[in-house]
């Protein structure tokens, strides 16, 4: 199995040891579960948002570095609405600002985090181009 070097804090290490006996056993369970859960969430969210709305969200996360403390629905809403106000992104992609706002407000923090991570991931991918954005939205 491929190895992954993850960075965790002391509290997370203690949690893994408490629940799984060892840090390695916990990481071996949690990481694949988190990846699977992330992709299931993205597939479900793609049924909620239109391609134009997804493009607006992804473009809102260009040059944004996510931090665990800012992965909440309220931060997603603020980021996307600011991008719409300042750069008219919703109009560029043909999305309704009010419909997008209403859909974001219905997300829980876990769903919002998934879409924020997914959006940010596009900008650090090797295939990050305007043409590949359409494919990214269709593919994931």
Q: What is the mean pLDDT of residues 8-23?
A: 89
pLDDT in tens, 51-98: 999 999 999 999 899 988 889 999 999 999 999 999 999 999 999 999
pLDDT tops 80 at residue 16? yes
With a cut of 80, say whether residue 128 has pLDDT above it: no
Q: Any idea where the domains of the chain sit in the sequence?
A: 8-46, 50-139
What is the residue-wise DSSP string for 90-127? Answer: HHHHT--HHHHHHHHHT--HHHHHHHHHHHHHHHHSTT
pLDDT at 23: 87
Tell whether the model's pLDDT for residue 3 goes beyond 80.
Answer: no
pTM listed for this prediction:
0.85
CB-count exposure of residue 1 (10 Å: 0-12, 13-18, 19+): exposed
- The owner of tokens 């593919």 is 139
């Amino acid at each position: 199995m491929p190895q992954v070097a993850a960075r965790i804090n002391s509290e997370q290490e203690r949690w893994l040891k408490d629940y799984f006996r060892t840090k390695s056993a916990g990481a071996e369970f949690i990481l694949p579960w988190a990846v699977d859960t992330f992709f299931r969430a993205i597939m479900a969210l793609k049924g909620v948002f239109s391609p134009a709305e997804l493009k607006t969200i992804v473009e809102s996360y260009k040059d944004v570095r996510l931090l665990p403390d800012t992965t909440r629905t309220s931060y997603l809403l603020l980021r996307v609405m600011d991008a719409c106000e300042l750069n008219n992104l919703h109009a560029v992609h043909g999305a309704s600002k009010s419909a997008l706002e209403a859909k974001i407000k219905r997300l829980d923090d876990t769903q919002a985090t998934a879409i924020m991570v997914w959006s940010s991931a596009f900008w650090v991918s090797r295939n990050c181009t305007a043409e590949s954005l359409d494919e990214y939205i269709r593919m994931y």
